[in-house]
């Protein structure tokens, strides 16, 4: 049995009964109220009704037309749902790419900040070493000047 649901809360169940007749059941999902049971045919080989008179044939045609209209409405509803789902998937993919891009930019900024801090500390360390080296060499130069 196939089940279809449209936007207005009407759900359709389409399937065969034990005798092979095809039924289209519809009911309101909000209220749980049973709306209709249409017999669409018998086992796929006959219309399930006699069409021996013009009135019976017209009734059978009307039922077939109603079944086609119902099927078309269900297909349209399913197509609209598919389009909405596809749109949602596309939007989620774009958001995922944007999130990855933002994460990459944040990571790049963090690396640049850390690198700048590292270079600054290195310059300070090298300056301190140079100043200590100069401070250690000044007494030797003074002794050399005095000792001549």
Q: Per the domain annotation, does 142 fall within a domain? A: no
Pick the more confident residue, 65 or 50. Answer: 65
Q: Per the domain annotation, does 19 fall within a domain? A: yes
Whether 66 contacts 49, CB under 8 Å: no
How many independent structural domains does the chain possess?
Answer: 1
Pick the more confident residue, 8 or 72. Answer: 72
Mean pLDDT of 46-67: 76
Q: Per the domain annotation, does 71 fall within a domain? A: yes
Q: Per the domain annotation, does 130 fall within a domain? A: no
Q: Is the pLDDT of residue 31 over 70?
A: no
Q: Is the pLDDT of residue 133 over 60?
A: yes
pLDDT (0 to 100) of residue 135: 85
H or E stretch covering 18: none
Q: What is the pTM of this model?
A: 0.43
Q: Per the domain annotation, does 60 fall within a domain? A: yes
Q: Is the pLDDT of residue 25 over 60?
A: yes
Which residues span the domain enclosing 95? 2-101
Q: What is the DSSP string of 53-77?
A: SHHHHHHHHHHHHHHHHHHHHHHHH
Q: Is the pLDDT of residue 43 over 50?
A: no
Mean pLDDT of 85-97: 97
Confidence class for position 74, pLDDT limits 50, 70, 90: very high
């Amino acid at each position: 049995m196939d089940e279809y649901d449209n936007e207005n809360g009407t759900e359709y169940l389409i399937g065969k009964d034990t005798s092979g007749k095809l039924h289209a059941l519809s009911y309101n999902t909000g209220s749980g109220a049973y709306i209709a049971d249409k017999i669409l045919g018998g086992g796929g080989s006959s219309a399930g009704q006699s069409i021996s008179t013009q009135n019976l044939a017209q009734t059978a045609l009307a039922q077939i037309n109603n079944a086609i209209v119902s099927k078309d409405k269900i297909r349209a509803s399913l197509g609209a749902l598919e389009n909405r789902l596809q749109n949602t998937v596309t939007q989620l993919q774009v958001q995922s790419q944007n999130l990855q891009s933002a994460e990459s930019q944040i990571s790049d900024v963090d690396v640049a900040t850390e690198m700048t801090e590292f270079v600054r500390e290195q310059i300070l360390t090298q300056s301190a070493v140079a100043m200590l080296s100069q401070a250690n060499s000044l007494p030797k130069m003074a002794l050399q000047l005095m000792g001549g």
